[in-house]
């Protein structure tokens, strides 16, 4: 392999790395929303896997049935995180042209975990 070819490959790899980093940062800024209990609990999660907001309708707050509210919060939170992860995976898929490159579409890797 010639030095020119090697240099070209290195430049392409660096460019791809920069594009991946940019895409990761953009994906972290996006949000996904999920609801539970017919919209009684709404949770918004970021592409970084963080909960951005939780909205609970007053009608679902029943001091005699706290367990139901807890279940709704858990369900909405899990779904919002799942949707946020799918959003990140879609962004990485766009960048890689659908190739399944290890680590690029994994939310844990994006978060450094």
Reading the chain (113 residues) residue by residue, the pLDDT tens digits are 788 888 888 888 888 888 888 888 888 889 999 999 999 999 999 988 899 999 999 999 999 999 999 999 999 999 999 999 998 888 878 777 766 555 544 444 444 43
Our CA angle for 26, 49, 45, nearest 5°, is: 85
Q: For residue 56, list its beta bridge partners.
A: 41
Domain count, the chain: 1
Tokens 């919002």 belong to 80
| DSSP-derived 3-state class of residue 22 | helix
Looking up residue 60, the CATH number of its domain turns out to be: 3.30.1310.10
Structural domain containing residue 27? 3-110
Strand order from edge to edge, sheet including 51-56: 31-36, 41-46, 51-56
User: How many Cβ atoms are within 10 Å of 80's Cβ, its own excluded?
Assistant: 26
pTM: 0.70
pLDDT value of residue 100:
56
């Amino acid at each position: 392999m010639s030095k020119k070819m090697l240099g070209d490959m290195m430049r392409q790899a660096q460019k791809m790395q920069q594009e991946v980093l940019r895409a990761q940062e953009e994906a972290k800024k996006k949000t996904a929303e999920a609801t539970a209990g017919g919209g009684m609990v709404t949770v918004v999660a970021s592409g970084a896997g963080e909960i951005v907001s939780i909205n609970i309708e007053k009608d679902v707050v029943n001091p005699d049935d706290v367990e139901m509210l807890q279940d709704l919060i858990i369900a909405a939170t899990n779904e919002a995180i799942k949707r946020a992860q799918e959003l990140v995976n879609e962004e990485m898929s766009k960048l890689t042209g659908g190739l399944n490159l290890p680590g690029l579409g994994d939310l844990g890797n994006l978060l450094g975990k």
